Amino acid sequence: MGKDGFLTPKAIANRIKAKGLQKLKWYCQACEKQCRDENGYKCHMTSESHLRQLLLIAETPDTYLDNYSQEFKSEFIKLLSRRYNTKRVLANQVYQEFIADRHHLHMNATHWDTLTDFVKHLGREGICHVDETPKGWFITWIDNSPKALERQAANQKRERQDMDDEQREQRMIQEQIERARLESSGSGLNSSGREDQA
């Protein structure tokens, strides 16, 4: 009988097989267990530990669903804000990066059935600007952090100041044009009035 150890051929083979992403339909979010094939998933579904976990979830299903949804949303937004910041990006591209992590929270454990539903939710909540194109759903994260709001206020103040400077210059130019027009029309009247008297 061989020993079960870290460096045994069987353990190495199992680690190699477990590498990378597996099929979503063979993942149990309740137990956070990924199975390699349909038979393994079927055995897991009938296991005692899985049934105990389901009984726990059955006591307060809404709590678990809300927690999974909140966690999925916060992790997705964290990835979106850090990786893409306020750039317009295809929602599916962000989702593909999100699920590339092997230990991500699966969307089928949340309130949302599809990525489209989730993206629409982000738009309704005011977290992202959302627009649909023939290529798919595009999202742009709205940065509501205090630093970003201060930056935005400073930019608006600077723009107003620039506009005020431009408006002052335009007003001064207009006044000079009016004065020049009045002077030229006033001097024209004087000369024509003198000629009439002479």
Residue 22 has pLDDT above 90, yes or no: no
Residue 120 has pLDDT above 90, yes or no: yes
Range of weakest confidence among 6-15, 96-105, 185-194: 185-194
Q: Identify the pLDDT of residue 189.
A: 54
Contact call for residues 33 and 103 (beta carbons, < 8 A) = no
- Give residue 90's pLDDT band: very low, low, confident or very high (50, 70, 90): very high
Q: Is 104 helix (H, G, I), strand (E, B) or coil?
A: coil
What is the pTM (predicted TM-score) of this model?
A: 0.61
Residue 196 has pLDDT above 80, yes or no: no
- E strand or H helix at 138: strand 136-141
pLDDT tens digits, one per residue of 124-174: 998 888 999 999 999 998 877 677 667 777 788 888 777 777 888 888 899
Distance CA(127)–CA(144), nearest Å, equals: 9
Distance CA(161)–CA(106), nearest Å, equals: 49
Q: Is 135 helix (H, G, I), strand (E, B) or coil?
A: coil
Q: Identify the pLDDT of residue 142.
A: 86
- Give residue 195's pLDDT band: very low, low, confident or very high (50, 70, 90): very low
pLDDT tens digits, one per residue of 47-80: 999 999 889 888 988 898 899 999 999 999 999 9
Q: Identify the pLDDT of residue 138.
A: 93
Q: Which residues pair with 140 in a beta bridge?
A: 88, 129
Q: Is 149 helix (H, G, I), strand (E, B) or coil?
A: helix
